[in-house]
Structure 1
Amino acid sequence: MRKLKETILIVEDDAQIRNFICYSLKLEEFHYLSVSTAKSAMEQVVAEKIDLILLDLGLPDLDGLEVIRKIREWSDIPILVISARDQEKEKVEVLDAGADDYLTKPFSMVELLARIRVALRHLKKQNNTTTKSIVAVGNLRIDFEKHLVFLNNSSIHLTPMEYKLLALFFQNIGKVLTTKMIIKEIWGIGYGEDTQALRALMSALRRKIETNPAQPEYIITEIGIGYRLKEKRRSAG
């Protein structure tokens, strides 16, 4: 029997979908709470120790995008958006606002459960990262304390900007980072949204860490949105 301490908050105004999610989480022995409005969601986040939020965008009292923005003013709780909005522009806007992942309706429960497990696994890793200076994804390893990177146990040389970009991905393993978010973190808020410099930097980094840069194994492109450091096997410290 699974012994999970994490609490999942389901924020969904469609009773049929909400009940379906609740039933599926119950079968998997997850601990959860469910609400149908943004107001109730905010009350639960304040009153309870919530570890993951499953958030619909089309809420009756406040758009889910605003809920994300409000929560991100004071909390880093992982947020997995579940929405019928499937335009790339809308996904980018949600991710830029601070959501950690996005699942489009209709969805399979198998995929939702997989993404929940990934989100909770990342949460545990983040909680442990404060005591770790070395993190590994597959055969790629970064030493934050010494600013060193290893591939297949061999040290590889990165420029300061390449290291900064790779470190950003290692701090967000498995999470989609939008191009706007990456540019802001790497070059600063006043740089603008010129993606050419990012594409050139990404190309240079991939040539050093990927066996075949044209078919990357580590940093994959989320078309129209951004990039993701693909979770592979292990974390070391």
Structure 2
Amino acid sequence: MNAAAPRVLVVDDEPQIRRFLDIGLRAEGYRVLLAASAAEGLALAATQSPDLIVLDLGLPDRDGQDMLAELRQWSQVPVLVLSVRSAESEKVRALDHGANDYVTKPFGIQELMARLRALLRNHAAAAGGTEPPRYDDGRLAVDLARREVALDGRPVALTRKEYAVLALLLRHAGRVVTQQQLLREVWGATHVQDTHYLRIVLGRLRQKLGDDPAAPRWLKTEPGVGYRFLG
């Protein structure tokens, strides 16, 4: 095993899930730590310095939401919540507590691995101060330094709010940004309930980028929770 490989801590009380993730993660080259309770998970997080945590919410000794809130008091390690709880309120609560992403069980292992890679990539860039000033996938190009957007080589004229939403989602590429976070950072704290502002702006953004909400290329809606830049 490569000693430089990312270390992933899995906190889940189901033995079969732990074994499944242990096998899957090791097959992808990760080093794996396993915990069956919140107490064990916090102890490993404090002593083993994992690069990422996969966290179940239904733990035997305390709720995973509480563990996440405690963890965030002293660590900014990326956390992907993996839970059977599919209610929008649970997703919003976890993201507000500091989760970086949320996947519901049952889940596809390839999608999970893709999300883990995105979280590790973005965390490394942020930690190193190496956030790329430019995004370019061959179709969509966004220059954050120059505040320029182009589609298929042609400039796209965006309003200040449209650009601000796109830039914020791009800076957090791969992770869910909640509606409240977007509203707070783009419109201000007094507008965190004005979700219709977001719907209007995202609709215009998608229209200008030719992004189909039913099969999104860049801007994905997480219903009732927020939005994710897929690039």
Unaligned stretches of 5+ residues in structure 2 = none
Partner of 2:88 in structure 1? 88
1:53-89 alpha-carbon deviations (Å, 9 max, x no partner):
0101011222111222223334332211111112222
**For the Cα contact (< 8 Å) 1:179–1:225, is it kept in 2?**
yes
User: Is 2:34 the partner of 1:34?
Assistant: yes
Query: 1:138-149 to 2 correspondence within 5 Å?
Result: 138-149=138-149
Structure 1 residues 111, 194: CA separation in 2 closer, same or farther (over 3 Å shift)? same
% identity of equivalent residues: 38
**For the Cα contact (< 8 Å) 1:210–1:218, is it kept in 2?**
no
**For the Cα contact (< 8 Å) 1:183–1:198, is it kept in 2?**
yes
Structure 1 residues 53, 131: CA separation in 2 closer, same or farther (over 3 Å shift)? closer
SS at match of 1:149: strand
Structure 1 residues 110, 147: CA separation in 2 closer, same or farther (over 3 Å shift)? closer
**For the Cα contact (< 8 Å) 1:210–1:216, is it kept in 2?**
no
SS at match of 1:141: strand
User: Is 2:145 the partner of 1:183?
Assistant: no
Distance in structure 2 (CA, Å) of the matches to 1:74 and 1:207 = 42
**For the Cα contact (< 8 Å) 2:11–2:36, is it kept in 1?**
yes
Partner of 2:134 in structure 1? 134
TM-score, normalised to structure 2, is 0.86
**For the Cα contact (< 8 Å) 1:96–1:180, is it kept in 2?**
no
Distance in structure 1 (CA, Å) of the matches to 2:90 and 2:211 = 33
Of stretches 26-35 and 119-128 in structure 1, the one that deviates more from structure 2 is 119-128
CA RMSD of aligned residues (A): 2.6
| Aligned residue type for 1:146 | R
Cα offset, 1:214, TM superposition: 7.2
Unaligned stretches of 5+ residues in structure 1 = 232-237
Structure 1 residues 108, 2: CA separation in 2 closer, same or farther (over 3 Å shift)? farther
Distance in structure 2 (CA, Å) of the matches to 1:49 and 1:92 = 26
Distance in structure 2 (CA, Å) of the matches to 1:211 and 1:36 = 42
Structure 1 residues 143, 81: CA separation in 2 closer, same or farther (over 3 Å shift)? same
Distance in structure 2 (CA, Å) of the matches to 1:27 and 1:225 = 32
Cα offset, 1:224, TM superposition: 2.7
TM-score, normalised to structure 1, is 0.84
1:169-203 alpha-carbon deviations (Å, 9 max, x no partner):
11111212222221122122232312111111222
Cα offset, 1:216, TM superposition: 4.3
> How many aligned positions are there?
231
- Where relative contact order (Cα < 8 A, 6+ residues apart) is larger, the structure is 1
Cα offset, 1:230, TM superposition: 1.4
Partner of 1:115 in structure 2? 115
Structure 1 residues 164, 74: CA separation in 2 closer, same or farther (over 3 Å shift)? farther
Cα offset, 1:211, TM superposition: 5.5
Structure 1 residues 52, 70: CA separation in 2 closer, same or farther (over 3 Å shift)? same
Of stretches 21-30 and 7-16 in structure 1, the one that deviates more from structure 2 is 21-30
Partner of 1:208 in structure 2? 208
Structure 1 residues 111, 146: CA separation in 2 closer, same or farther (over 3 Å shift)? closer
| Aligned residue type for 2:86 | D
Structure 1 residues 131, 71: CA separation in 2 closer, same or farther (over 3 Å shift)? same
SS at match of 2:29: coil
Structure 1 residues 72, 138: CA separation in 2 closer, same or farther (over 3 Å shift)? farther
SS at match of 1:98: coil
